[in-house]
Every structure is written in structure tokens, then in C-alpha cells.
Structure 1
Amino acid sequence: MSAAPFEQVEKEVNPHFEDFLFDWNQKFQLLVGGYGSSKSYHVALKIILKLVEEKRTALVVREVYETIRESCFSLFEEIIEEMELADKIKMVVSPMQIRFPNGSKIIFKGMDKPTKLKSINNVSLIWLEECSEIKYAGFKELIGRLRHPTLPLHMILSTNPVDEGNWTYSHFFIKNKGQSDEVLFLDDEDLYKERTIVVGDTYYHHSTADDNLFLPESYVQELENTKVYDLDLYRVAREGRFGVSGTKVLPKFESMPHDEVMKQINAIRKPIYKAGMDFGFEESHNALLRMAVDDKEKILYIYWEYYSNHKDDPEIFDDLKEFARTKERIKGDSVEPKTIYYLKKKGLNITGAYKPKGSRLQNTKKVKRFHKIICSDKCKNTIRELKSLTYKKDKQGNTIYDEFNIDPHTFSAIWYGLDDYEVVDLKDHKQTYKAIQSLGL
């Protein structure tokens, strides 16, 4: 492999990345892969080769600046030493920089210190490492920082695929998946099959640990073992596919064909019908769900949904006129009393749900007590929000049990609809039995 103006250097690389190393035809290059696939290594090598060939300023970014030294910076240092170029390419520790004899340089910044980005000029190449951790607003800010009067501009993004709620999925693959305004850029399933695909001005690359010929077999086996105890982690880490990385809120949630769902509901001896509604306008959404409860088997069925935003109260009522005719009881979000009052005045049988302090956590626990949650495949938004819903974590990595990776409007609708219903599980039965014993009954 040539490294002009240096003497020729031989460097062994993984075959799956050979074409990627020298392909600069697109502005955006997205590398998605599992753990240990060597994508970061080959991005760093690609940047070194480019900056050796022509004078450029490259910017390497992670969400948190302090994580760069032990990741990207040390990776560049490792490659430079392997190529025996340490006497020609200078590593500067403070502030972190890499300087080349031809005037090229690599600078490192963290998105947690955005003011330091403003002084950067003539950056023609940016690498966003672990781009899924960077906020979408930060990504767009960096696009604005990518400018040079003469050189072609390039942005490389590398990441382990997290969940479909992340901006990397909605920006590069499918936006508003499962909704009426869905926009398809690339079906990620096609990328998993083809491994590399070019769409417009974006080069897509997929990799797994199998593509890293230098990886110890013991590491690969550890990835294989995740299939036994964590299928979601296996999908992300071993297969390099978008999925859920974290603790699922509703692991018992599943979808079925609509006809099968209705068949099961009709077979319930005494189904309990419920309807709940969450309100939204700008960023959030209106979500109304029709549900049926099998109280004996402790199964929650979701068989109809209404999902919209940017609609005022009259428009919402116009969409829900049938509820004025059927007089079905709806429990709505009590923080919107004006909307509830308007819909009630127009003929809907709607009241506000009880929302005491701590109700988010209690409502979440209530829904989790169902033995199964079965959703009609016609409820696309409900499936999209709840199938991959995970808990948020704090800075110390502790799970926050009343906060989630997205704002799940359909989950709120379930809470409100079940406002006056309680799922009694085995633990509750034990408490009741103890109470009866204490009374001597």
C-alpha cells in the first residue's frame, strides 16, 4: 500500500475493508457494525492515508471529549507506530493533535464543549466516532463546520447500531418507520445482505466480528454467548443489526395479525374494554388506543389506534366523531383539561385520568404485570413505540424506571385507559392472603 510522499509501506488489513480504505466518492460514509468488527481501526487508517497524500485538516469528534484519548487518539498512535511512521508524524498530547510533515493535521474535539468548535476553520474531513451517542443537533452543527474553498468534503460516521429510535437510523435508513409519512432512504435489511451499498451521496458499510481476521476466537465466542442470555445484545453486538440495546420495558409485548387478535378477543368470556388518550401537538402526538382486557388470563389486547399531531381540538374531534356516536368511555391525560372539556362538550364520553405524584412508575409497573400484551399489526405506531421501548439510564449507568429512550405516547394512552383497572398478580394475592390471616378471617 502506497503512502506518498513517504516511502512505500506494507500494511495488512481486513479484506472486507480494502475497498472502503480508498473510496472517497461520496460525501458521507456510514460504517455500521457489531463489536470487534475493526471498523474504527480502518476509519483511522483511512484518514491517515488520506492526510499523507494531500494537505488537509481533519476533525475527530466524540460526544465526550475525555473519552477520546483512550479511544481515537490511542488508535491513531497504534497505527502510526505499526506503519513505522512515528518519526515523521508527530503526536501532540496537549491539546491533542496529530501533525504531518506536509502540513496536514488531525484535531480532536468533544461535543460536550461546543464553544471550542467555533474556532475551527477549513476542515474538509470529519470523523464522528460512536456517532449514535452524538445528539442530532450536534451532527447538523458539524455538517455546517465542514467547509473548504477547494477540497472535496467528507464526513465519516461509525457506530454500533443501537435502536431504531436513534437519529442515525431515522436519518440514514427509515424516517418515521411504520407511520403514514414514512420516508425510506435505505432498508437496513438490504445493507445486512449486500454489506456495502451506495445511495446518492452516502456510502454504507456493514461489518461484524467475522470480518476481523485478527480477532481472538475467544472474543468471538463471548459474543456468541450473548445469544443465550440477551438476544437484543446479540443482535447488536454479534450481528451488527439495529435493535434494542438496554432493558426492555415491555418484554411480553408482541404483535399479531389483526384478524387473530380480534378472534382471541371475541373468545374472552367477559372482556373488559378500555380506551385511553394522550394529547400532543408540536413534537409530541395525540394517541388514542382501544384495548380489551382478559382479566382471567391477565392479557392486554390493543386492537385500534389513532395517532396524529399538528391538529387543533376541532380537527381532533372531527377525526373521532364515531366515539360521539358509540359513547365509548375514554380516559385522557388530565393535564389537558381544555381539550378534554371541548371534546366532552362536543359529545365524547371523555374524562381525565387520575395522575398523582409517582404515577408514571406505578402505571409502568401495572402494565408490566400483564402476562401478555398482544397488539394488532394494524397499530403500526404502537408497535414502533413499544416493541423497542427501553429504560433510560443515569450518568452512573443506573436504570431510571420511569423514563424511557423515547417519549412513548401510546404507552401513556395505555396508562390512562387502565386508570380504574388494576392487574392483580400472584404477589398481590399473597399480600391479600396475609391481610386476611392477620384479621383472623
Structure 2
Amino acid sequence: MKKMKISLKKVVGKGYNRFWHFKGRYRVCKGSRASKKSKTTALWYITNMMKYPGANTLVVRKTYRTLHDSCFTELKWAINRLGVSNHWEIKESPLEMTYKPTGQKIYFRGLDDPLKVTSITVDVGSLCWMWIEEAYEIMNEDDFNILDESIRGQVDDGLFKQITLTFNPWNEHHWMKKRFFDAPYDPDILAMTTNYMINEFLDAADRKVFETMKEQNPRRYRVAGLGDWGIVDGLIFENWIEKEFDIDAIRQMKNIKSAFGLDFGYTNDPSALWCGFIDPSNKIIYVFDEMYEKGMSNERIHTKVTKMGYAKEQITADSAEPKSIDRLRELGLSHIRKARKGKDSINSGIDFIQDFKIIIHPRCVNFLTEISNYTWDVDKFGKKLNKPIDDFNHLMDAMRYALEGFSLGNTFSFD
């Protein structure tokens, strides 16, 4: 194979020169949406896997099922962007990529199966690189330490061991801030922040989204636009823990009832399905599954819910979308019903849930992100208002809909 010459300016663009050439152990990049961090990282791994014959890479997210539509897709894009698809073998079951000239591999694992993360044996060279995408999802620093320890041992001459973390910085209290961004200078750490303004590949319509956000939602713009840490003050729910539990065992417990809620979205907001159990006697809510995806038609929502195994469940959906509810019922979600809502329904639902202990399964990463950022709104003077922010609320709303029958009394109507 001919030696490739990659033009950073043409392929990657500006803003990532230090990131591209850094060889210390920890390369940490927090950034806004559209800041190129994931695409640049994908390009780096494909380029350098071909440059270093002994290198193998492990790509990790908190849950395995989220890898296909994120890192795996980004790496396939990078292979095509670099014009080297003939040199890579790509498998989807299980997810795996092999550089055919040498046999080097890119492995994909989720923290929801820790044994598979720590027991990887490579055929060629050494496992020296790791990419943790959406690292914000890893809320327990000990989980990261386990990953850190898996990149160990001797490497071939010329190679180096490195872990790359990329994420959106939703919460200033996350352990990564103290460990990487607030730490004294360490030559083994590159901690950087990027935002959409260094992405010269965005068109005018893309940039307008951020300019509108800047005017209409400055709080979100600070994080999603500029890549700053999210300042979390006035959390609505502090009565929760993240803890793995046996879903089937909980389902068999006395007094346990299942509950499902659906919040509609499309272009800018995700459609969100909340799946949980409630134990009214012991005041415990268990959150065990979720759907969280943008651009979903009613047909796709039906297909996804059916694939998840919840088509026959009683689902309470946002009553602002009666046509969508009717369509989903026609498609086969026969037990879907509209939420009753009403005056003060948001605050009443919040009051009800605040009396419970909420136990969240680690695979519910979007729910964990929302509940750790769902706060009371403030006025222009910074005074707290008696209403939640209109953000991080899709699964929060879906949870309220799901539990409506327990807080208001259970009725069932198709009206």
C-alpha cells in the first residue's frame, strides 16, 4: 500500500492541531455540539491505526447498544472520508473493524458488560489505545479507573498508550472536571475545549441554529454552543441513585407495578419513552429502560417500541399530540392513552415523584443525564421560579406521564 499523506487542513480543519499530535496518556476533549470532536477522533484512529502497525484500539461507551449509531458509524465515515475502505473489513455482529494489511483491530465494548471490557486479547501487536465517547455518561470515577487499568503492559517500539475521552460538558460537578481540567499541569494530560465556531464545515443554516440558541436559551448555549461546563444549581430531583438491579427480580416483587410514558419530539427534541416500575408501598421508583431519539416518525416509534418488547404495555403519552396517539394506536400500540395534564400538572407530578426514592439502572444514560441537569428555572435577576427549565425534560415529562395514574388515580380512556 502506498504511504498516505493526510492534510489536516483539508480533512480535519482547524482547531485540533494539539489534539492530533499529543502522545500523553490522557487526551480529554469537552466540546459543544458540532465541534468536530467525534469526527476528528474517528479520523485520528483510522489514520494512526494504518500508521502504527502494532496498534489496536478499544472503543467504549457506557452501554454497548449505543455504539453502533455513534462511534461505529463515525469510524465508518472516517474510513470513507480517507478513501481507504478497500483496506478495512467491517463487521456488525459483533461490532469490529480490521485493518486487512496487518490484522490490527478496533474493538467495541460497553461498560454494561465489564468482563468483555477487561478480557480482550489481541492477535497482533498490543491494545494501546482507547476511545471513550460520551464519557460524561460514566458518572462513577471507579468505572473509569477499571478502564484505565486495562491499557497496560509493554507496547511495541514507537507506540504509546493513550486514552481519549470526548464528551459534552453538561455538569460542572462531574469527576472529569476535577481530575483533568482543574488538575495542576501534567504532561500526560491534554484537557481542551472546542466549540462549533472552529467547524468551518458548517453551513449558514447550521450556524443559525446556534445563533438562535444564543438569543433564546443562553443557558443551553453556554454548554451546547460554547462547550463551557454546565452550572447545575437548584436540582429538582436529588432523591435518586444509579444502581444496577435485576429487572426480572424487581418485576416479581410484591406491590410492583410497571409504568410507561412517551414524550413526542422530532427535529430538535427527541421522542422519549420512559420505562419503569413503581412500588407505592415502599415509595420506590425503578427506572429500567428508555428510548431517546430524534427524527422519529410515528411509524418508527411503533417499530422501536415493538422491538423493545413494550407494544402491549399501557403507555401514557403527551396529550398535545392526539393525532400521533391515534396513529400509534392504529399501528398496533393498542393500549396507548393520552396524559390528562391539567392545571399545575407539572408541579403536582414533580411533588409526587419527590416523595419517592428513584433507583436508575446504569443503562438509562439519557435519563441519568436529564435528571442530573433538570433544575428550577430562574428569572433575569437569577431568582428561582416555581417552574422547571424547558430543557433536559423529555424523559422527565415522560416519567410524569407514566406515573400519572398513581399520582392522580388510575383511569383509562381513549377520549
Work out whether residues 180 and 191 of structure 2, in 8 Å CA contact, stay in contact via their aligned partners in 1: no
- The answer to whether 1:227 aligns with 2:214 is yes
With over 3 angstroms needed to count, the CA separation of the structure-2 counterparts of 1:115 and 1:393, relative to structure 1, is: farther
Work out whether residues 22 and 46 of structure 1, in 8 Å CA contact, stay in contact via their aligned partners in 2: no
Question: What's the CA shift string for 1:402-422, capped at 9, x where partnerless?
Answer: xxxxxxxxxxxxxxxxxxxxx
Work out whether residues 118 and 147 of structure 2, in 8 Å CA contact, stay in contact via their aligned partners in 1: no
> How many equivalent residue pairs?
253
Q: Among residues 32, 48, 54, which one is paired with 1:34 in the alignment? A: 32
**How many Å separate the matches in 2 of 1:42 and 1:14?**
9
**How many Å separate the matches in 1 of 2:377 and 2:389?**
17
Q: CA deviation at 1:394?
A: 9.6
**How many Å separate the matches in 1 of 2:212 and 2:382?**
29
Equivalent residue for 1:155?
163
The equivalences for 1:131-170 within 5 A come to 131-135=135-139, 136-150=141-155, 151-170=159-178
**How many Å separate the matches in 1 of 2:380 and 2:32?**
31
**Counterpart amino acid of 2:149?**
G
**How many Å separate the matches in 2 of 1:370 and 1:22?**
43
Work out whether residues 5 and 53 of structure 1, in 8 Å CA contact, stay in contact via their aligned partners in 2: no
User: Comparing both chains, which one has the higher relative contact order based on Cα–Cα distances under 8 Å and sequence gaps of 6 or more?
Assistant: 2
Greater Cα radius of gyration, structure 1 or 2: 1
With over 3 angstroms needed to count, the CA separation of the structure-2 counterparts of 1:34 and 1:374, relative to structure 1, is: closer
**How many Å separate the matches in 2 of 1:215 and 1:43?**
18
**How many Å separate the matches in 2 of 1:216 and 1:44?**
22
The equivalences for 1:10-409 within 5 A come to 12-24=11-23, 26-54=24-52, 55-100=54-99, 101-121=101-121, 122-135=126-139, 136-150=141-155, 151-174=159-182, 185=183, 199-244=186-231, 249=235, 360=354, 396-398=395-397
Question: What's the CA shift string for 1:35-84, capped at 9, x where partnerless?
Answer: 10001111111111221111211001111211111111111111111211
Query: Structure 1: where are the runs of 5+ without partners?
Result: 175-184, 187-197, 251-356, 363-367, 376-388, 402-441
**Counterpart amino acid of 2:167?**
T
Q: CA deviation at 1:398?
A: 3.7
TM-score between both structures, scaled by the size of structure 2: 0.54
Q: CA deviation at 1:19?
A: 3.5
Work out whether residues 164 and 170 of structure 1, in 8 Å CA contact, stay in contact via their aligned partners in 2: no
SS in structure 2 at match of 1:45: helix
Q: How large is the RMSD of aligned CA atoms in angstroms? A: 3.7
**How many Å separate the matches in 2 of 1:244 and 1:399?**
24
With over 3 angstroms needed to count, the CA separation of the structure-2 counterparts of 1:102 and 1:224, relative to structure 1, is: same
**How many Å separate the matches in 1 of 2:380 and 2:210?**
30
Q: CA deviation at 1:202?
A: 0.1
SS in structure 2 at match of 1:199: coil
Equivalent residue for 1:344?
none
With over 3 angstroms needed to count, the CA separation of the structure-2 counterparts of 1:110 and 1:371, relative to structure 1, is: closer
**How many Å separate the matches in 2 of 1:58 and 1:69?**
16
**How many Å separate the matches in 2 of 1:390 and 1:137?**
31
**How many Å separate the matches in 2 of 1:105 and 1:372?**
53
**Counterpart amino acid of 1:14?**
G
Q: CA deviation at 1:361?
A: 5.2
Question: What's the CA shift string for 1:409-441, capped at 9, x where partnerless?
Answer: xxxxxxxxxxxxxxxxxxxxxxxxxxxxxxxxx
**How many Å separate the matches in 2 of 1:139 and 1:172?**
13
TM-score between both structures, scaled by the size of structure 1: 0.51
The share of aligned pairs that are identical, in percent, is 25
**How many Å separate the matches in 2 of 1:235 and 1:18?**
24
Q: CA deviation at 1:96?
A: 1.0
Q: Tell me which stretches of 4 or more aligned residues in structure 1 moved more than 3 Å.
A: 4-11, 247-250, 357-362, 368-375, 389-401
Query: Structure 2: where are the runs of 5+ without partners?
Result: 237-350, 357-375, 401-415
